[in-house]
Structure 1
Amino acid sequence: MKNLIIIGARGYGREVCGLARQCSGYNTEYTIKGFLDDKLDALDGFENYPAIISSVENYEIQDNDVFVCALGDLKWKKHYVEIILSKGGQFINLIHPTVVFTSNVKLGNGIIIFMYSNISNDCVLDDFVTIQGFVAIGHDSKIGKWCHINAYSFTGGYAVLEEEVCLNTRSTVLPNVIVRKGATVGAASLVIKNVKENTTVFGVPAKKMEF
């Protein structure tokens, strides 16, 4: 039996804890050991959660430990995952039992997928991709490492999200569109053409925002 440790004990960490309890491996392949978070009082006032064990930096990995990362900010997700990897930690996938996969889907490591999402045929999801509930990924889409796709979003067939892309809630990426590395798509936006690296787009149709 593996001991699952969740990186991050804030709101999203509590969501991922709930997901872990709903996945088929709970209490058969793993139990939930606790959280890693440097805010040791993050769970004060909340009930029925395992304890915060340590910060990521100070945690010493034990036999049978496995990890998932419950951080929505891509910068910090990457930062803390790489700390655990440097210590020899292993990550698992958490996939809700209602998720639908069609044929030939390829999954990386450290992936989190919430309820009622649909991953169509011949898609590729790289390591440490997070997909929230009710997302639809169209056929032959490629989702790069570290991407975060929020609830009710959609990618059309042959869409490409390069590494570290964030799609916010209800965003739509049309077929054959490429969203380049580090880009952010605002909530409820419609992406009809390629998005440049490290830019933020918003609206219908989505246009670059200046800050």
Structure 2
Amino acid sequence: MKNLIIIGARGYGREVYNLALQCEGYKKDYIVKGFLDDKEDALEGFENYPEIIGNVEDYVIQENDIFCCALGSVKWKKHYVEIIGSKGGKFINLIHPTVIVHSNVKLGIGLIAFMYSNISNDCTVDDFVTIQGFVAIGHDSKIGKWCHINAYSFTGGYAILEDEVCLNTRSTVLPNIIVRKGATVGAASLVIKNVKENTTVFGVPAKTLNF
């Protein structure tokens, strides 16, 4: 039996904890050992959660430990996953039983996929992608490493999200569109043309925001 440790004990960490309890591997392949978070009081006022057992930087990996990363920021997810990875930590996929994965889909490691999402045929989903609830990924899409796809988002067929892309809630990427590395798509936005690297777009149709 493996001991699952969740990186991040705040709101999203609590969501991922509940996801872990609902996945098929719970109590068969793993139990939840606890959280890693540098905010020691992150769970104060909340009941029925395992303890915070330390922080990422200082934690010494034990035999049978496995990990998942419950951080909503692409930047910080990558940062803390790489720290655990440098110590030899292994990550698992947490996929809710209602997620539909079609034929010829390739999934990386560290995937978190919430309820009622759909990954259509012949897609590629790289390592450490987060897929929130009710997401639809169209056929032949390619989702790069570290991407974060928020609830009710949609990508059309042959869409490409390069590494470290964030799609916010209810955003839509039309078929054959490329969202380049590090770009962010704002909530409820409609992407009708390619998005440049490290830019933020918002609106219907989505346009670049300058800060």
Question: Take 1:64 and 1:58, find their aligned partners in 2: how far apart are those partners?
Answer: 18
> Could you tell me which residue of structure 1 aligns to residue 34 of structure 2?
34
User: Does residue 45 of structure 1 match 2:45?
Assistant: yes
Deviations 1:2-50 (A, max 9, x none): 0000000000000000000000000000000000000000000000000
Letter of the 2:125 counterpart: L
TM-score between the two structures when normalised by the length of structure 2: 1.00
Task: Give the 5 Å matches for 1:183-202.
Answer: 183-202=183-202
Per the alignment, in what secondary structure is the counterpart of residue 6 of structure 2?
strand
Per the alignment, in what secondary structure is the counterpart of residue 41 of structure 2?
coil
Count the aligned residue pairs.
Answer: 211
Letter of the 1:42 counterpart: A
Deviations 1:101-128 (A, max 9, x none): 1110000000000000000000000000
Letter of the 1:124 counterpart: T
Taking only the aligned residue pairs, the percentage that are identical comes to: 82
> Could you tell me which residue of structure 2 aligns to residue 100 of structure 1?
100
Task: Give the 5 Å matches for 1:85-96.
Answer: 85-96=85-96
Question: Take 1:73 and 1:105, find their aligned partners in 2: how far apart are those partners?
Answer: 25
TM-score between the two structures when normalised by the length of structure 1: 1.00
> Could you tell me which residue of structure 2 aligns to residue 7 of structure 1?
7
Per the alignment, in what secondary structure is the counterpart of residue 3 of structure 1?
strand
How far 1:53 moved relative to its partner? 0.2
> Could you tell me which residue of structure 2 aligns to residue 78 of structure 1?
78
Letter of the 1:126 counterpart: D
Question: Take 2:85 and 2:72, find their aligned partners in 1: how far apart are those partners?
Answer: 18
- Unpaired runs of 5+ in structure 1? none
Deviations 1:62-115 (A, max 9, x none): 000000000001110000000000000000000000000111000000000000
> Could you tell me which residue of structure 2 aligns to residue 176 of structure 1?
176
Letter of the 1:90 counterpart: K
User: Does residue 17 of structure 1 match 2:10?
Assistant: no
Letter of the 1:33 counterpart: K
- Unpaired runs of 5+ in structure 2? none
Question: Take 2:134 and 2:198, find their aligned partners in 1: how far apart are those partners?
Answer: 26
How far 1:191 moved relative to its partner? 0.1
How far 1:52 moved relative to its partner? 0.1
